[in-house]
Amino acid sequence: MLIHGLQKRSYRPPDKKRFYKFGILVRYPFHDTQKMPEEPLISIRNLQTHYGSRQILKNINLDIYRGETMVILGRSGCGKSTLLRHIVGLAKPSSGEILIKGNDIAKMSEDEMTPVLRKIGMLFQGAALFNSMTVGDNVAMPLREHTKLEPSTVKIMMRMKLEQVGLGGFEDFMPAQLSGGMKKRAGLARAMAMDPEILFCDEPSAGLDPVVAVGIDQLINKLNQALKMTIVVVTHELPSVIEIADRIAMLHNGAVEAIGSWDELRANPNPIVQQFLNREADEEKIDREKYLKSLVEG
């Protein structure tokens, strides 16, 4: 049985993800297209969402499998963050199902969701650190809130998480003393505090210079490989997609336009997909003369 988007990946240029994720074809669970993949870890069915009368998410169907890095790609405003907020239980859909290991969190109360969501970590857009707390306290906070661990154990775990993201020794720094890339790393350490099975990252490399952004992408790959975390990354940055994605779901105006590997997306004849991948900005299609005239004439 062939499931869309799970076909064996074809050639990948050696300088791309394969270089960093050596052995991925062995690790990747779907390389045998004849086999049914295992049950999805997350399964989104017919998800619809409205803000007021405006429909933001349109009939989203998406499966996320254990161990993969799924990228949710799309332009600004297409609904990527909204989709993540639904999956992590911060917003309720108008209709549809969000199954996490078979539990439909769309229909659960906050109390019912808590044990399900405990296995989920989230790096928010902009890292969302508490500026009045040290980096160490930011990372330790989920452990203090949700566990009964001894303070000394919390401290050891906090230091381990900071080590894992390359911030060993920065626990006493305040967020304001960190660079943009370091803030994202600290946000990742906090998202990982409870040893999540699934990690969500909303625009982890946005606003970073390209070298720092590559460092964050490599860190995401490391977490996926070394800790076997399932990772869902929202982005609109194509270099990040090439670096980290096993599969990509492309959103457009609140709907899933395409799902597949990078190679599959590149081969997809859908003009919306091609326009995004080729970065034919709409602006380039604006007639320059007409535009200047409109500025003068108002």
Ligand X SMILES: Nc1ncnc2c1ncn2[C@@H]1O[C@H](COP(=O)(O)OP(=O)(O)O)[C@@H](O)[C@H]1O
Stretch that binds ligand X, among 72-80, 152-160, 173-181, 277-285 (CB under 6 A): 72-80
Q: How far is CA 117 from CA 230, 264, 290, in A?
A: 14, 32, 52
Nearer to Mg ion, 188 or 194 (CB): 188
Stretch that binds ligand X, among 21-29, 73-81, 177-185, 264-272 (CB under 6 A): 73-81
Nearer to ligand X, 82 or 134 (CB): 82
Question: Rounded to an integer, what distance in angstroms lies between the CA atom of residue 126 and that of residue 207?
Answer: 9
Which of Mg ion, ligand X, none has residue 82 at its interface (CB below 5 to 8 Å by kind)?
A: ligand X
Q: Does 81 bind Mg ion (CB under 5 A)?
A: yes
Which of ligand X, Mg ion, none has residue 51 at its interface (CB below 5 to 8 Å by kind)?
A: ligand X
Question: Rounded to an integer, what distance in angstroms lies between the CA atom of residue 298 and that of residue 148?
Answer: 63
Closest CA to 241 of 98, 70, 126, 124: 70
Quote the tokens at residue 39.
């049950």
Q: Does 205 bind ligand X (CB under 6 A)?
A: no
Judge contact between 223 and 191, C-beta under 8 A.
no
Give the per-residue contact string, 83-122, with ligand X (x = CB under 6 A; - = no).
----------------------------------------
Q: Does 161 bind ligand X (CB under 6 A)?
A: no
Nearer to ligand X, 147 or 253 (CB): 253
Residue nearest to Mg ion (CB): 81
Stretch that binds ligand X, among 3-11, 29-37, 79-87, 114-122 (CB under 6 A): 79-87
Residue ranges with strand state E in the chain? 42-51, 54-64, 69-73, 95-100, 103-104, 120-123, 198-202, 230-235, 247-252, 255-260
Give the per-residue contact string, 191-210, with Mg ion (x = CB under 5 A; - = no).
--------------------
Q: Report the interhelical angle of 151-164 vs 135-146 (nearest 10°).
A: 130
Question: Rounded to an integer, what distance in angstroms lies between the CA atom of residue 195 and that of residue 143?
Answer: 10
* Residues at the interface with Mg ion (CB under 5 A): 81
* Residues at the interface with ligand X (CB under 6 A): 51, 56, 74, 76-82
